Amino acid sequence: MHTLPSPAPEPPLPILFQDDSLVAIHKPSGLLVHRTVLDRHETRFAVQLLRDQIGRHVFPVHRLDRGTSGVLLFALDKDTARLLTRQFEAQQVDKRYLAIVRGHPPEAGSIDHALSRERDDLEFQGEASSQAAQEARTDYRRLAVAEIPYAVDRYPSSRYALVELTPHTGRRHQIRRHLKHIAHPIIGDSTFGKGRHNRLFQALYGSQRMLLACTRMALTHPHTGAPLVLEAPVDGDFVRVMDGLGWGAQVATLQACR
């Protein structure tokens, strides 16, 4: 009688920081933070994997979309979760993202564009739930540009850029929606991006992900008051695309000057 092989064990999530009250990981692209009715068949979640990995309950205090990689912070108790959530709500947490976008945006700018509310799956949507657009602002800085000899739209070549983004509000899908608003959508974004550009990057670079990553988060430790800086450099498909566009060493120099 043949027995089925045991499933391969889950690889551990990369831990960026951990103490008695909080833990930060480098979330891979494609991993949900927690269970959602929109992906009811998914069985892998960061909350569950991290809980099993460290043997403690964890409380997410912010979100990253499934396709976004990078710094993801959890509290290890409810009191810490409450204190961290206050920092996020008061816009006291400095977050930096990298994205590869279509086109060549200006060297720097601020996207000040209100966004209609997008609710969580189980959020109350009754009469008391406002439908009004919410203030939202994202600053950006262009780090590198490239032009490749492939016709995607009506031009014989296609332009792309690497941008660093700093969201000052925390609206759902804010960065993705803001970049779409200025006509520079993120490559690999199946909801707010352009399918023809996404497919080109799959064919040229084997990229199967949305090219958006939270690379840095700076906050105040909720109990000690000490500054805490968490960093998660891009890897995998993201690095392969940057190398393919000729940005490798140039990007490290530009980021060091921020």
pLDDT tens digits along 45-85 = 999 999 999 999 999 999 999 999 999 999 999 999 999 99
Beta strands at 94-102 and 69-75: parallel, antiparallel or unpaired: unpaired
Whole-number pLDDT of residue 150? 94
The DSSP 8-state label assigned to residue 31 in this structure reads -
For the four alpha carbons of 43, 177, 167 and 200, in that order, the dihedral sign comes to: positive
Whole-number pLDDT of residue 248? 80
Residue of 208, 213, 206, 210 lying closest to 193 (CA atoms): 210
Helix (H) or strand (E) holding 112: strand 108-112
Q: Which residues of the chain have pLDDT under 70?
A: 1-9, 36-43, 118-131, 250-258
Whole-number pLDDT of residue 250? 64
- CA 58 to the chain's CA centroid: 20
CB 163 within 8 A of CB 97: no
Annotated catalytic residues are 65
Rg of the chain on CA atoms, in Å: 19
Query: How far is it, in rounded angstroms, from Cα 156 to Cα 139?
Result: 31
Counting other chains too, the contacts that 52-59 makes at CB distance below 8 Å and 24 or more residues apart are 52/10, 53/10, 53/12, 53/13, 54/15, 54/18, 54/23, 58/23
Whole-number pLDDT of residue 126? 46
Whole-number pLDDT of residue 119? 58
CB 148 within 8 A of CB 157: yes
- The three-state secondary structure class of 222 is coil
Residue 166 tokens, joined: 């700093």
